[in-house]
């Protein structure tokens, strides 16, 4: 450790001004800190919505905003706003169900079970994404959809 201090003291003694740094060095240091802060702040003020996705903006003061953001780059206020990004592409699902019935053409009632598969494709409504976020999470949307299908 003493060796490191000795090397640093020798380097500072060889610098003009005794190693304290002149006004130019201070200005360059302050400028570098300013540019770094601007780059960090600028990158956290924008967000991207990819193709096939939509975003709902949550605001800490006003709650969820009704406006749904489409694909592209958007501006936000860090800490006050947070984007919630949803996938709104049409998704195929296969729903399998076992059904039981009595054998109609036999003399003794025999339980027959058949497996039925229902292909289903759905996509959430883009205009009501903000409402889905307020009421239920979007991953629950498929469960609600299934309960409505089997209720019919």
Segments making up each domain of the chain, as ranges: 91-151
Which residue shows structure tokens 């027959």?
Answer: 112
Secondary structure E strands in 6-125: 46-49, 53-59, 63-69, 72-75, 81-87, 91-102, 111-122
Q: Which pLDDT belongs to residue 139?
A: 55
Q: Using the predicted structure, report yes or no on whether residue 21 has a pLDDT greater than 70.
A: no
> What values do phi and psi take at 151, rounded to 5?
-75, -25
Which residue would you say has higher pLDDT here, 50 or 119?
50
CB proximity list for 115: less than 8 A, separation 6 or greater: 96, 97, 98, 99
Which residue would you say has higher pLDDT here, 54 or 31?
54
Of 55-64, 89-98, 100-109, the range with the highest mean pLDDT is 55-64
Cα–Cα distance measured from residue 86 to residue 50, given in angstroms and rounded to the nearest whole number? 10
Cα–Cα distance measured from residue 38 to residue 75, given in angstroms and rounded to the nearest whole number? 15
Q: Using the predicted structure, report yes or no on whether residue 140 has a pLDDT greater than 80.
A: no
51-76 tens-digit pLDDT: 999 999 999 998 888 899 999 999 99
For residue 122, give the 3-state DSSP assignment.
strand
């Amino acid at each position: 450790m003493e060796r490191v201090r000795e090397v640093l003291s020798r380097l500072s003694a060889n610098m003009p001004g005794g190693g304290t740094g002149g006004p130019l060095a201070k200005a360059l240091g302050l400028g570098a800190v300013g540019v770094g802060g601007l780059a960090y702040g600028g990158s956290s003020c924008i967000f991207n919505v990819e193709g096939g996705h939509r975003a709902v903006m949550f605001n800490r003061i006003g709650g969820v905003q009704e406006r749904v953001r489409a694909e592209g780059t958007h501006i936000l206020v860090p800490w006050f706003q947070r984007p919630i990004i949803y996938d709104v592409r049409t998704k195929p699902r296969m729903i399998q169900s076992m059904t039981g019935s009595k054998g109609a053409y036999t003399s003794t009632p025999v339980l027959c079970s058949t497996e039925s598969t229902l292909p289903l494709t759905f996509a959430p409504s883009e205009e009501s994404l903000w409402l889905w976020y307020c009421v239920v999470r979007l991953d629950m949307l498929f469960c609600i959809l299934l309960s409505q299908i089997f209720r019919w």
